Amino acid sequence: MKAFISSLSVLLIISSAFAQPDNTSLNKQQRVKYYQEFLCFSSGKEDLTRVDVFIQVPYSEIQFVKNGQSFIAQYSLTISVFDENREKLINEKIWNEKINADDFDQTLSKENFNLSLKSVELKPGNYIIRTAMEDKDSRKEFSVDNNFTVRDFSSGINISDIMLIAKQEVVEGSNKIRPNVSKDVVVQRDGIQIFYEIYSDSSADVLMDYSITDKDENVVHKQNEIINLKAGTNQNFKTIKDSVLSLGPHKLLVSIFDLKSKLITSASKIFISRWSGVPGNVQDLEKAIEQMTYIASDDELDFIEEAETREDKIKRFLDFWKSKDPNPQDEQNEVFNEYYRRVAYSNEQFSHYNEGWQTDRGMVYILLGPPNNIDRHPFDYDSKPYEVWQYYDINRQFVFLDDTGFGDYRLVTPLYGDDYRYR
């Protein structure tokens, strides 16, 4: 199920989708059980702005129940808009979603999702927008509060928020768009496709400037063009081409200048640059290479690091993981994905003085995966805090002792032998 947006007057219609509203920091990511996206467009009314709210729910985050020959999932969504002090509920929308899957494999696919769209009209200003999802079968509920600024498009020349496009096609003369709500962009393949609107009181020629900065605020791509604006609403589709970006968060800035190079207005969009076939939690090439220490030999790491160009380093990195692919015929590389999933989990769970992947518990978790059982002893009277991890399939257990009492668990006995190679 894929979501498309029909654009005649950029009518945003839905079909099926994890994202966050733009943050000012490129280094902060918030992970929730669904993606969300808030976009401001002109409502055509002088004192109100239209806010389009997208809620994208992956099939993997909802409970499917067998119903005859198919599978059904149901959940409710709530959008609540509060003033910036959270003292007054200004608007609230509640609705139900129902998904039918033909077979069980569809319910497990990482590619499947359901996307909802609701619009609210608000006065320009600062708000708190809460989104919430409740699974009807499991009764599990998730919610997130977002600080959001509703923009003013009432006069002069203004630009709407920027929509990232996942797919665009023309159907029966109508331009249909599936928005990229997750903001993950595989730029090396197709460039970056975007949609935005410009609102103008009169006709004018303007200079459009498109620039991309990395997380260190270095400009890594720039292009511009002169366009003619007509009075009213101008819809713009643009592909930012020839943009070979590094992994991780970037910011796209779309600016409007007059022909004397005076800035009129601008809008920005944060996105995550991905490489095709690379796990989504790999966002820094140098860090990803460093984290390979538990699966690659010193010679293999040196070979990657000694590449003379960045392009060669990328190729050697990808070739290493291709050599580990147990099923090279399909698109997924299970070892590649699982290794960095374990790295990400270790960083989430075991980070202390060091990043989680560098700790003893992180090392064991990355090498051997999750233990079959963990016996925790945080408050024993006659001993310091310790944990015992048990791996039944290799008939081994590992003891981690918190000698300092500050959560810095160290492995009591070292790993050695073939049993402790990456599994």
DSSP string covering 41-71: EE-SSTT-EEEEEEEEEEGGGS--EEETTEE
106 sits in which H/E element: helix 104-108
pLDDT tens across the length of the chain (423 residues): 444 443 333 333 333 333 344 433 443 334 458 999 999 999 999 899 999 999 999 998 899 999 888 999 999 999 999 999 999 999 999 999 999 999 888 888 778 999 999 999 999 999 999 999 999 999 999 999 999 999 999 889 999 999 999 888 776 667 788 899 989 887 656 689 999 999 999 999 999 999 999 888 999 999 999 999 999 999 999 998 866 788 888 999 999 999 999 999 999 999 988 887 788 788 889 999 999 999 999 999 999 999 998 889 989 999 999 999 988 877 788 999 999 999 999 999 999 888 999 999 999 999 999 999 999 998 877 789 999 999 998 899 999 999 888 888 999 987 776 656 777
Confidence (pTM) = 0.75
List phi, psi (to 5°) of 178.
Answer: -105, 115
- Report which of 366, 361, 420 is spatially closest to residue 394, judged by C-alpha positions: 420
The backbone region for 34, taken as left when phi is positive above 0, alpha when psi lies in -120 to 50, beta otherwise, is beta
- The tokens for 122 are 């608000």
Cα 386 to Cα 133, 291, 356, 375, 382: the distances in Å are: 38, 26, 17, 9, 12
Q: Radius of gyration of the chain from Cα atoms?
A: 25
How far, rounded to the nearest angstrom, does the alpha carbon of residue 258 sit from its chain's CA centroid? Answer: 34
From residue 325, give the alpha-carbon distance in Å to each of 197, 264, 311, 330: 44, 51, 21, 9
Quick check: helix, strand or coil at residue 342?
A: helix
Residue 186 is which amino acid? V
Instruction: In whole angstroms, give the CA distance from residue 163 to residue 178.
Output: 10
Angle between helices 298-305 and 310-323 (to 10 degrees): 150
